[in-house]
């Protein structure tokens, strides 16, 4: 009983983590299912058919590739624009700072239906054809704010003495930026890019409004939900999940090791 009382928070914490993963486990398990009818929602029989023929259903892999393509373009543009804004906000004094902050905050405080539908209203009034570019434009728009917040946090958390030291050692502003500032901020920028890609790749609501007849991976799933989602979609989603998880965990491990080695060398001196 005393043990329970002392560890109660830990137990709840682990239960909540488990809760977060229950639906993902269901998706992974159902990717090995041979569904009885057209709906893959209850367990029937073990099968690896979907994994062996992951592109077997028309539309699955093409929509998947399309989502990756849009994700890469949108992330690249939004990361560059967002990083520039973050630098301006942290490193420069200028008039209009409050307006800038508000303009960054508002898209995040606006529900996706409003972002998606307002952009559609614009494209409709301009009779701009919906498709690849309207979706990409929309993704860039809603990712920028997240990039700004992530990179800004990294810039503010940086030790200013490192740059001062560089200047004291007569490094030109450009050299300081290239050899000190940029390498230090890079992990933050990469993290922001990863977040941006995840947001773009998985976005449904904003995409749905501006896609026209374009079918991204989430749009495909939405359409398929009515008539039964193919098992291949479960397999692809499981694959994406594990690849991303392994990627992020190994980046974490490498960072932790680098930090330990750095601390050890500082301690040795």
Partner 1 sequence: MPAIVPTTSASTDAPVTSHRRRSRTAYLLLIPGLGWLGIFFVIPIVTLFFTSLQAPVEGRSGVYQAAFQISNYGEAISEYWPQFVRSFTYSSIATILALIIAYPLAYFIAFKAGRWRALMLVLVVAPFFASFLLRTYAWRTILSDEGFITSSLNALHLLPDDRILNTSIAVILGLTYNFLPFMILPLYASLEKIDPRLIEAANDLYARPFTGFRKVVWPLSLPGVVAGTLLTFIPASGDFINAKLLGSPGDSMVGTAIQVNFLQFRDYPIASALSFILMAIILVVVFIYIRRAGTEDLV
C-alpha to C-alpha distance for 140 and 79, rounded to whole angstroms: 9
Among 48, 49, 65, 106, binds partner 1 (CB under 8 A): 106
- For residue 188, state whether it binds partner 1 (rule: CB under 8 A): no
Among 36, 38, 91, 257, binds partner 1 (CB under 8 A): 91
- For residue 198, state whether it binds partner 1 (rule: CB under 8 A): yes
Stretch that binds partner 1, among 48-56, 182-190, 198-206, 260-268 (CB under 8 A): 198-206
C-alpha to C-alpha distance for 124 and 135, rounded to whole angstroms: 14
Q: Write the DSSP symbol of residue 158.
A: S
CA atoms within 13 A on the CB side of 149: 14
State whether residue 31 is helix, strand or coil.
Answer: coil
Of 34-53, binders to partner 1 (CB under 8 A) are 41-42
- For residue 240, state whether it binds partner 1 (rule: CB under 8 A): yes
Among 144, 151, 189, 192, binds partner 1 (CB under 8 A): 144
Stretch that binds partner 1, among 54-62, 68-76, 78-86, 261-269 (CB under 8 A): 78-86
- For residue 111, state whether it binds partner 1 (rule: CB under 8 A): yes
Among 68, 72, 81, 184, binds partner 1 (CB under 8 A): 81
- For residue 146, state whether it binds partner 1 (rule: CB under 8 A): no
- For residue 65, state whether it binds partner 1 (rule: CB under 8 A): no
Give min distance, CB of 266 to partner 1, in A.
20
- Of 49 and 114, nearer to partner 1 (C-beta) is 114
Among 49, 252, 260, 262, binds partner 1 (CB under 8 A): 252
- For residue 208, state whether it binds partner 1 (rule: CB under 8 A): yes
Residues 252/256/261/266 CA torsion (nearest 10 deg): 130
Helix intervals (H) in 92-210: 97-108, 112-125, 132-156, 160-168, 173-176, 182-202, 205-210
- For residue 57, state whether it binds partner 1 (rule: CB under 8 A): no
Give min distance, CB of 110 to partner 1, in A.
6
- For residue 160, state whether it binds partner 1 (rule: CB under 8 A): yes
- Of 23 and 37, nearer to partner 1 (C-beta) is 23
CA atoms within 13 A on the CB side of 213: 1
- For residue 72, state whether it binds partner 1 (rule: CB under 8 A): no
Whether 85 and 140 have beta carbons less than 8 Å apart is answered as no
Whether 215 and 207 have beta carbons less than 8 Å apart is answered as no
Stretch that binds partner 1, among 52-60, 102-110, 182-190, 260-268 (CB under 8 A): 102-110
C-alpha to C-alpha distance for 262 and 234, rounded to whole angstroms: 42
* CA distances (Å), origin 114, targets 90, 107, 111: 30, 10, 6
- For 151: left if phi > 0, alpha if psi spans -120 to 50, otherwise beta; the answer is alpha
């Amino acid at each position: 009983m005393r043990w329970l009382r002392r560890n109660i928070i830990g137990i709840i914490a682990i239960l909540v983590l488990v809760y977060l993963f229950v639906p993902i486990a269901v998706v992974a398990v159902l990717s090995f299912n041979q569904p009885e009818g057209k709906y893959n929602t209850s367990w029937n029989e073990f099968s690896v058919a979907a994994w062996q023929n992951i592109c077997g259903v028309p539309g699955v892999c093409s929509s998947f590739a399309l989502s990756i393509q849009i994700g890469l373009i949108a992330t690249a543009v939004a990361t560059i624009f967002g990083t520039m804004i973050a630098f301006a906000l942290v490193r420069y004094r200028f008039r209009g700072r409050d307006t800038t902050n508000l303009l960054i905050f508002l898209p995040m405080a606006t529900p996706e239906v409003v972002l998606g539908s307002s952009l559609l209203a614009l494209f409709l009034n301009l009779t701009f054809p919906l498709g690849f570019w309207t979706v990409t434009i929309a993704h860039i728009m809603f990712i920028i704010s997240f990039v700004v917040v992530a990179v800004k946090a990294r810039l503010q958390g940086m030790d200013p003495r490192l740059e001062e030291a560089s200047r004291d050692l007569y490094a030109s502003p450009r050299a300081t930026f290239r050899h000190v500032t940029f390498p230090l901020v890079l992990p933050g920028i990469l993290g922001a890019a990863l977040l941006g890609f995840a947001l773009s790749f998985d976005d449904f609501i904003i995409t749905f409004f501006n896609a026209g007849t374009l079918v991204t991976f989430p749009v495909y799933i939405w359409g398929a939900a009515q008539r039964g989602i193919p098992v291949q979609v479960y397999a692809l989603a499981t694959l994406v999940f594990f690849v991303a998880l392994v990627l992020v965990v190994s980046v974490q491990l490498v960072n932790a090791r680098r930090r330990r080695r750095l601390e050890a060398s500082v301690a040795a001196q």
